[in-house]
Amino acid sequence: MSNNLEYRIVKPGKPLSDFVDSFWFLRNLSDADKDTTGLPDGLIDILLFKSATQPFSIAQLGGLTQFEQAKVSANSVIFCISFKLLAVEYIFGEAIADIVNGGRFLPEGYWGFTENDLLDFDCFVEKATQKIRSLIPEGIDERKRKLFELIYLTKGRITVKELSEKAFWSSRQINRYFNQQFGISLKAYCNILRFRASLEHIADGRLFPEENFFDQNHFIKEVKKFSGVVPKELSKNKNDRFILLSAIRQK
């Protein structure tokens, strides 16, 4: 990642990892806006944001299925919690179907967060962890827990039929749940996770299918659909345009 962009990611342990994928921050230390392309990763984000020209704000983003051109503002900082889909029902308590490729601003003081929480990332992670722990309910539908466990374990490389059989939940009910809660089908979500997993290989310069794509043409088509470019161009990642790919490379 360029010298003007600072990035760090922290992965949670159990029981948070059933609901939270990661905590991360991104700083643009330069005096110029940074052009980027956001890639779909199948996660829901809670963002704390501030820049030299934009006041502190908190937002929820549901960019699950599409790439998006965006700017990282000059002299800005973003702290983020990236949630897995199980959090939608059990942590947020409301569907995200209406913001599947959009977002919404959250009220001032949401979860007790303030502008001061942007001063120390480790303190932010601890505060967020305690808040999320307090929201985890005692009773969770084991079919849903098993369903998401299998989806993430296989990185989307599993059929709806297999998921139905292993989670003891009918395919029809699963798809109804996905469409009502998340605004996408289970199959579409698995395709996104498979694309996300392929970024690990593309970051290493391996520009051929390794995630159960039918063939090279199918792989290229799917990568272009979710990123806007073919695998070769994505791998070049000029000027750290694809920040998610840059973050994978610096692991």
The 10 Å Cβ neighbour count of residue 161 is 9
DSSP conformation class of 91: I
pLDDT at 126: 98
0.85 cut: is pTM over it?
yes
DSSP conformation class of 222: H
pLDDT at 112: 97
pLDDT at 62: 82
d(CA 144, CA 158): 16
pLDDT at 1: 64
Low-confidence ranges of the chain (pLDDT < 70): 1-3, 63-64, 211-212, 251
| Alpha-carbon Rg for the chain in angstroms | 18
Q: Are 244 and 38 in contact (CB under 8 A)?
A: yes
pLDDT at 4: 84
